Homo-oligomer: A and B are copies of this chain.
Amino acid sequence: MATVVQKFGGTSVATADKIRRAAGRAIAAREAGHHVIVVVSARGQTTDELVDLAHEITSRPSAREMDQLLSTGEQISIALVAMAIHAMGHGAISFTGGQVGLVTDSVHTKARIQKVDVERLKEQFAQGKIVIVAGFQGVDAHQNITTLGRGGSDTTAVALAAAMKMAGEKEIVCEIYTDVDGVYTADPRKVPTARKLDVISYEEMLELASLGAGVMHSRAVEFGKKFDIPIHVRSSLNDSKGTMITKEAASMEGIVVRGAALTRELAKVTIRAVPDTPGVAAKIFHEIAAANIVVDDIIQNISSDGQTDLSFTVAETDADDVADVAHRLAKEIGAGAVEFDKNISKVSIVGVGMRSHTGVAEKMFKALANARINIQMITTSEIKISCIIRRQDAEASLKAVHDAFQLNDEA
């Protein structure tokens, strides 16, 4: 007997039929003898509709009241899923984040989980019930409702699995049901030869998640990594095996590159002739963060004549905002010209095997060169190599590296 956590996203509970299908999966796991926790998101368009209601009232709703408002979306879902399980003749009970004792800090709209009380779960398991938990939400120490921000329901699912593990449960399964079959070597809409992976390490998934592969949010993967919870990403539409996200196994090193990803809409900012004195970079990125702009990559080469060129990338949607800040900063710190390029993309390859293999970067650069794609900038981490390229080469570059590393072949 295991503890099975099943998470269903908004599209998987969007209609009565889909709710019944999710209920059927939970019942199947229960009938197999497991303790079952079902985590659900708000249905289909519910969150958007609630946001629209708020915006009819004010353009700047308070974060606390937004959380009061948005948390109703999951509460509706959990009640409906519990009703569906009842209608199919099984015991079930729904809990909001607060009811299940999921306590967070008080940072509304992007709260972080502090603890989960498993007693209420265990009481229900003892009665044979399937427990339905509202994803994405919790309460702070004063019973204020909080929400976890993007990827929140995935995080709820993994956190509940982790809490059960810490409470002494030996066998934990965490299943994320989604509208794709699993994690692919590349986005299959862009690379038709992309292949579904049976297994991927947390680290690789983190790089792919932050690169926009989008199957799971990086925060939930981090949670899984921290508590060593294997996460099974699979389709809600069929019964085929998906992708298991798990800790790095020795066997994984045989595969040098696990996947390739594209971040399409990026903008590049270069500040020329930045004085090479301590604290300048810190000042620049402090000001950019203060403007609520998330910086993707930062590239600074060695200086000459006490000056250096500093480049960084941001989401294209932040390009105009960052321009104001960059111009002001350049003046303040006595730097040279500021250059912008709104038409860039980033292609990346990821794999834990890179650590112990040589020639990976060379192979990637050669693949791009053969496709006549110019590399503008390069950044690397221990398990990732990224190249900044022109937007018009985006899809071609992804295909080129995917082919070069033969990611379509079964390893």
Contacts of A80 in B (CB 8 A): 53-54, 57, 69
Contacting chain B: which of A92-100, A214-222, A252-260, A286-294?
A92-100
A79 touches B69 (CB 8 A): yes
- Given A72-B72, A75-B72, A143-B99, decide whether A65 and B83 contact each other with a Cβ distance below 8 A: yes
Partner of A19, one of B57, B62, B83: B57
Known: A58-B84, A65-B86, A72-B72. 6 other contacts (CB 8 A): A16-B56, A54-B79, A57-B80, A61-B86, A62-B86, A69-B80
List CB contacts (< 8 Å) of A76-110 with chain B: 76, 78-80, 82-84, 86-87, 93-94, 96, 98-99
Question: Judging by beta carbons under 8 Å apart, are A83 and B58 in contact?
Answer: yes
A72 partner, pick from B64, B76, B82, beta carbons under 8 A: B76
Interface: A268 (CB within 8 A): no
Contacts of A98 in B (CB 8 A): 98, 143
A68 to B79, CA, bound (A): 6
Answer whether residue A50 sits at the interface, using C-beta atoms and an 8 A cutoff: yes
Which 8 pairs show the lowest CB-CB distances between chains A and B?
Answer: A69-B79, A72-B72, A58-B87, A68-B79, A16-B56, A65-B79, A57-B83, A61-B83
A57: which of B16, B72, B145 is its contact (CB, 8 Å)? Answer: B16
Cβ-defined partner of A76 (8 Å) among B19, B69, B87: B69
Q: Complex Cα distance A82/B79, Å?
A: 25
Q: Which residues of B contact A19 (CB under 8 A)?
A: 57
A64: B residues at CB distance < 8 A:
93
Task: Say yes or no: A94-B65 contact (C-beta < 8 A), given A57-B84, A84-B58.
Answer: yes
Is A20 part of the contact surface with B, judged by Cβ < 8 Å?
Answer: yes
A84 CB contacts on chain B under 8 angstroms:
57-58
What residues of chain B lie closer than 8 Å to A210, measured between beta carbons?
none
Q: Which residues of A contact B (CB under 8 A)?
A: 16, 19-20, 50, 53-54, 56-58, 60-62, 64-66, 68-69, 71-72, 75-76, 78-80, 82-84, 86-87, 93-94, 96, 98-99, 143-145
Q: Is the CB of B82 within 8 A of A65?
A: yes
Once the chains bind, are A68 and B75 in contact (CB under 8 Å)?
Answer: yes
Q: Which residue of B lies closest to A15 (CB)?
A: B56
Give the Cβ gap from A10 to chain B, nearest Cβ, in Å. 15
- B residues less than 8 Å from A143 (CB atoms): 98-99
- Among residues of B, the one whose C-beta sits closest to the C-beta of A88 is B58
Q: How far is the CB of A15 from chain B (nearest CB, A)?
A: 8
- Chain B residues, Cβ within 8 Å of A79: 54, 65-66, 68-69
Query: Smallest Cβ distance from A364 to chain B, in angstroms?
Result: 50
Residues of B within 8 Å of A58, CB to CB, are 83-84, 86-87
Rounded to whole Å, the gap between the CB of A133 and the closest CB of chain B is 12
Sample of 10 A–B contacts (CB below 8 Å)? A16-B57, A19-B57, A20-B57, A54-B79, A57-B83, A61-B86, A68-B78, A68-B82, A69-B76, A98-B143
Find the residue from A57, A61, A86 having the highest chain B CB count within 10 A. Answer: A57
Distance A83 CA – B84 CA, assembled complex (angstroms): 34
